[in-house]
Amino acid sequence: MKKLILLCFVLVACSGYSSTDRWGHSSKMHKRTIYSVKDVNCLAKNIYFEARDQKPKGQIAVALVTINRVKSKRFPNSICKVVEQANRKNGKLVLHKCHFSWFCDGKSDTPRDKMSWDISLLIARAMLRNPMRDFLHGATHYHRIDVDPYWNKKMLKFSTIGDHIFYIDALNR
């Protein structure tokens, strides 16, 4: 319960920031954008499966990466399309070939931990209703510290939060 109260405080305190990046460019995601329940659930699932064991800042960072991808011309233009981006063969997901590993790992995508799911939903709703300052400065990639993916060699390491390393794609900004 303390974690949930702290998280609510953090989200309320951070929600007053502008939806412009550090260079003053406005984003294509504005406060007035209406998001569907499906969008909220897709973002919440990404937070839940990628970062439910992280502190609130790490969970918010995962949400920011997802949102930064929606803003980028290099990724699909909706939350669910970003979260569900994957290699497909004959219309079916190829195991372990998704942008977010949980989506095509062959395991159930039904959240089991109610408290963690409620927190993920709270963060997702807050992030979509009241865009906060992007403290990741446009980062579109991350990975756990215990893996070394091929793609990180071409990226600028920006920050480590919890057990995730966040990257900015400096070549494609």
CB 115 within 8 A of CB 4: yes
Token couple for 63: 């949400």
CB 113 within 8 A of CB 124: no
CB 124 within 8 A of CB 111: no
Using 50, 70 and 90 to split pLDDT, how confident is the model at 3?
Answer: low
CB 21 within 8 A of CB 27: yes
Worst-scoring range by mean pLDDT, 8-22, 62-76, 102-116, 148-162? 8-22
Helix residue ranges, H only, the chain: 2-14, 37-51, 56-71, 79-83, 114-129
Q: Count CA within 13 A, CB hemisphere, residue 85.
A: 15
Using 50, 70 and 90 to split pLDDT, how confident is the model at 26?
Answer: very low
How large is the average pLDDT for residues 15-23?
39
Token couple for 81: 């399309």
Segments making up each domain of the chain, as ranges: 2-14+36-136
User: Which tens digits make up the pLDDT trace of 35-90?
Assistant: 899 999 999 999 999 999 999 999 999 999 999 999 999 999 999 999 999 777 88
pLDDT over 90 at 94, yes or no: no
Residue 89: the pLDDT is 85
User: Which tens digits make up the pLDDT trace of 107-131?
Assistant: 999 999 999 999 999 999 999 998 8
The conformation of residue 34, written as its DSSP 8-state character, comes to: -
Token couple for 42: 């897709």
Please give the residue that has the higher pLDDT: either 142 or 20: 142
